[in-house]
Amino acid sequence: MANKKLLVSRVIEWSGLGLLARQLRQPNLIIYNFHRIRSEEILNSQFDENVFGITAGQLERLLKTLLTYAEPIGEEEIYNHITHRRPLTRRSFAVTFDDGYSDFYEVVWPLLRSLNIKPILFISTEAVTSRKLWWWDQIAYIVKHSPLRTWTWEGRKFHLPEESGKLILSLQRSYKTDVDFGNSKSMITLATQLGVTLFAEKNDSDQILTWDQIRILISEGVTVGAHSHRHDIFSKMTLEDQRQDLEQCLSILMQQLGVRPKSLAWPVGGYPHFTSGSVEIAKSLGFEMIYSFETGANSLNSVNPYNIKRVNGNNHPVVACAEMAFPEIFQQYKSLPTIGEH
């Protein structure tokens, strides 16, 4: 599918349609979302490889291309546009990073800063506090470290390690919908069944930003938003649990960082992953801007502050330019699997 997107994008660019559209069509606001950067050196991670996006070099090429067509804006400009109707005259884009992986501090921020791009960093607070990676990385770690040669899950026998990638995806899909698969007890049960001691080597901690690093990032100009506490799927939680999770996230962010975030991005973030009840809870807790994911471009002057749309940023620059020119063409791909969907 990535090749098909690239092919469509190349046709748009080669034909000159992309350039024409960017000059003539109504400006829009595209908000890119990323999670973590694919290292050039590390080919095989012991964690979830699907959450890695493009490399730092690819990110730099992408952003430099976007800067030739569009204005980078940060949370303040988004807020002023939405709430005070301050016009955005040019085609605009914003950059967001979700979760709290440490490569944001080491690799991403120095690049964004040099390009004068002000990102929003959405932090999921449990991992930063507990120093344990998120559930998708835990699932990947368990499967990749299992000594078993076969394992049956939901009636299908998986051969390991050959089919570990398929088993990881299958378990992650179950996690997103199965109410009972998601508490810390169930993860330990899974590890036990697969013969693994979860994070025995304690080598996950350096993958996650520290509170000290986040405080430095804020002092240097990064905006922090909330991304829930446990990063669970809100649509499978009770409303009371959703409220408790967001309250805990807010309380930790305020205690650790001394700032009350205006913005919230839903964990995972697609329309199946939260409900109208979730939105009402977030509004009642004072969030003024709420972001979804893989939901497309925003039309200027009609952005819904409680459903600010974002697209996956892990694209070839040609695809990003074509998407900026014709967002409606690319939205048909939004329900299909893409890189880094957490």
- Shortest Cβ distance from residue 69 to Zn ion (Å)? 28
Residue numbers of the site for Zn ion (CB under 5 A)?
98-99, 342
Q: What tokens does 10 get?
A: 């190349």
Residues 6+ apart with CB under 8 A from 285: 243, 246, 247, 250
Q: Which is nearer to Zn ion, 18 or 119 (CB)?
A: 119
Do 153 and 129 meet the contact criterion of CB atoms below 8 Å apart? Answer: no
Give whole-number Cα distances, 331 to 295, 312, 327, 328, in Å: 7, 11, 6, 5
Peptide bond into 72 cis (omega under 30): no
Helix boundaries (H) for the chain? 2-14, 17-24, 56-67, 75-84, 103, 109-114, 125-130, 135-144, 164-177, 184-193, 211-219, 239-257, 276-284, 317-325, 327-330
- Shortest Cβ distance from residue 228 to Zn ion (Å)? 8
Q: Which is nearer to Zn ion, 123 or 320 (CB)?
A: 123
Q: Which is nearer to Zn ion, 49 or 98 (CB)?
A: 98
- Shortest Cβ distance from residue 120 to Zn ion (Å)? 13
Q: Which is nearer to Zn ion, 80 or 174 (CB)?
A: 174
- Shortest Cβ distance from residue 267 to Zn ion (Å)? 5
Q: Which of 97, 121, 79 is nearest to 305 (CA)?
A: 79
- Shortest Cβ distance from residue 71 to Zn ion (Å)? 26
- Shortest Cβ distance from residue 38 to Zn ion (Å)? 17
Q: Which is nearer to Zn ion, 182 or 317 (CB)?
A: 182
Q: Which residue is nearest to Zn ion (CB)?
A: 98
Q: What tokens does 35 get?
A: 């999670």
